[in-house]
Structure 1
Amino acid sequence: MRLIVLSAVVPMLVLGLIGCARVQDVPQRETQYIEVPYTGQVSAQTVQDLEDQYPPGFWENQQLPLANQATVAIKEFTTNPQQPDLGRSFADMLASALVNSGQVRVVERENISSLLTELEFSQTGLSATPSGYETGQMHTVDYVITGSIAQMAGRQRVEVKALDVLSGEIFASESMVVDQVNTGVANSLAGMLLGTMRRR
């Protein structure tokens, strides 16, 4: 009986001593934060390459005087038959991007068909003059922009070309492979085209 009582008392004494023990606070280290300016995820070399590739002022999005703005007509992009509206939608996105740049004037879609028909006729050599622009409306357009959207292994390849109406020369051809065709793609391709136009 005495053994049983001792067995019960000893653990209680131990627990009591533990409970009375003083718990010391762990000293906390003072944390200081240093502000580091965000430089973006573009390396200095990439920035330099972009500055070398594009003319001064390209990224400033400066609006040109109306008299100095080239006039462009944007043809509906060819695309997958399963997505018949995609080509028209992207042409509209590209037109908006070019208009918002303040660098060029864009022909209204309603006038594009007749302009392109005249351009195709002038290129057959059947017109009275080398280009046939004096008698029609094509003299009001400097460049025609066309392109295509094609499926590539679950992604989409967007290609855009710019044609000089006077010479018939394709002077710019740009492409991007993207997961989704959107306004960001249109803005990027518009920037590439504008850079090429400025260097002409």
Structure 2
Amino acid sequence: MKHVLFFCFAACINLFAAGEKIGIAVNDLQAMGVDAPTAAILSERLRTELLNSGAFRVMERGQMDNILKEQGFQQSGACSDNACIIEMGQLLGVSEVVVGTAGKVAELYTVSVRMIDVATGEILLSENEECECPFKTVLNETIGNLASKLAKKASPYASLSISSAPQGATVALNNEKRGTTPLSFQQLEPGTYTLSLSLLNYQDTVFSVSLKKGENIECAPALRMSDAYQKTVKSKKTRKAWTVRGIAGGLAIVALAGGIYFNSQYNSAYNDYKAIHTVDNLDAEYQKVETQATRRNVCYGISGGIAVLGFAFSLTF
């Protein structure tokens, strides 16, 4: 059986596959254009949303303060430089620290966050959200969007969604049959996977997908008919086309016959009209001529219309 090989161009969507949770501490957002209480409220909401995402173990602010106080950690102003962040993360015993800013210019709120690896000081993730909206919307939606983005990217797993046209194809992942389309795979390890789709009367479709941490790939290949099935479908379409043409041709002939009949009636009426010499009967006979001519023309028009429309419709098969 023939196999179709192709590259699957994938689109990532916001989907987090729950796995091992990452221990993090969220430092208060630095206020830039907003007052300190506003920044503190946004920071606390960010902790809550990150915890609710299911991707992280989030240290409470009170616990952070107690540990840092016990360790004698001295912080003047916002802890924003890498040295300060790394020291704070080491004292708290977390693997990553989330820091960022909350700002406002006119009516535009901007919230930016970074996730920093305590061991290396590397910025692992960076996201920002803007919203020209009331503070309530920033609190209820913007912060949640940021948390979702961080959770998705921080997931150690990837997800894969497969559909096909037509649906119902058997899906094998790395040569292991897993179900039929549409089908989703959750908590896949990052790496390259081989997928094959098979469906009766269609060619097998085989392709590879490379998955990265936190990604959700969606593929929707269009399956190709097998040569034999393609010939069968084409033959059925041809038969349908000729059936339509036959029916249309028959109706056109009936209408044409009607036109011929009314044409003979027209000729007879016209001859009678020419033979009339009295004024009283002249108008009545002329009316008969017009009636037969109209009937003839209508039948001819219907005949031609059916023939043209029937042939045009048959071309769609």
Normalising by the smaller structure, the TM-score range is: 0.5 to 0.7
Query: What is the distance in 2 between the residues matched to 1:167 and 1:116?
Result: 23
Cα deviation for residue 90 of structure 1 reads 0.8
Q: Using structure 2 for the length normalisation, give the TM-score.
A: 0.37
Q: Distance in 2 between matches of 1:149 and 1:132?
A: 23
- Cα distance, 1:88 vs. partner? 1.0
Change (3 A) 1:153 1:81: closer
Give the CA deviation at 1:164.
0.9
After superposition, the CA RMSD in angstroms is: 3.3
Counterpart position of 2:83: 123
Query: What stretches of structure 2 of length at least 5 have no aligned partner?
Result: 1-8, 156-212, 215-317
Query: How far apart, CA to CA, are the structure 2 residues paired with 1:158 and 1:132?
Result: 24
Question: Structure 2 CA distance, aligned partners of 1:81 and 1:99?
Answer: 27
Match of 1:85 among 37, 44, 56: 37
Separation of aligned partners in 1, 2:72 and 2:26? 10
The alpha-carbon distance between structure 1 residues 159 and 81, as it changes in their structure 2 partners (threshold 3 A), is: closer
Q: Distance in 1 between matches of 2:72 and 2:142?
A: 25
Tell me whether 1:166 sits opposite 2:126 in the alignment: no
Give the match's secondary structure for 2:154. Answer: helix
Please identify the structure whose Cα radius of gyration is greater.
2
Match in the other structure for 2:149: 192
Which amino acid in 2 is paired with 1:173? S
Read off the aligned partner of 1:104 and give its amino acid letter.
F
Query: What percent identity do the matched residue pairs reach?
Result: 20
| Alpha-carbon distance in structure 1 between the residues aligned to 2:95 and 2:39 | 22
Alignment partner of 1:110 is 2:62: yes
Deviation at residue 172 of structure 1 after TM alignment: 1.4
Aligned length: 134
Structure 1 residues 132 and 170: CA distance shift in structure 2, 3 A = closer
Deviations 1:77-130 (A, max 9, x none): 11146522111111111111111111110011123241894998x938xxxxxx
1:26 is aligned to: none
8 Å Cα contact 2:32/2:101 also seen in 1? no
Pair 116,105 (structure 1): closer, same or farther in 2 beyond 3 Å: farther
Q: Give the alignment partner of residue 175 of structure 1, picking from 109, 128, 147.
A: 128
**Aligned twin of 2:197:** none
State whether structure 2 residue 49 is matched by structure 1 residue 52. Answer: no
Taking structure 1 as reference, are residues 172 and 116 closer, same or farther at Cα in structure 2, changes over 3 Å only?
farther
The CA deviation at 1:74 is 0.5
Decide whether aligned partners of structure 1 residues 192 and 108 sit closer, same or farther in structure 2, where only a CA change above 3 A counts.
same
* Structure number having the greater strand percentage: 2
Deviates more, 1:81-90 or 1:171-180: 81-90
Q: Is the 8 A contact 2:34 2:104 kept in 1?
A: no
1:132 Cα deviation after fit: 8.0
Q: Where does residue 95 of structure 1 map in the other structure?
A: 47
- Using the alignment, how far apart are the partners of 1:116 and 1:176 within structure 2? 35
Question: 1:182: how far off?
Answer: 1.2
State whether residues 74 and 112 of structure 1, in contact with CA within 8 Å, keep that contact through their aligned partners in structure 2: no
Contact 1:62 1:102 (C-alpha < 8 Å) held by counterparts: no
Partner amino acid, structure 2, of 1:96? T
- Inter-partner Cα distance in structure 2 for 1:163 and 1:53: 24
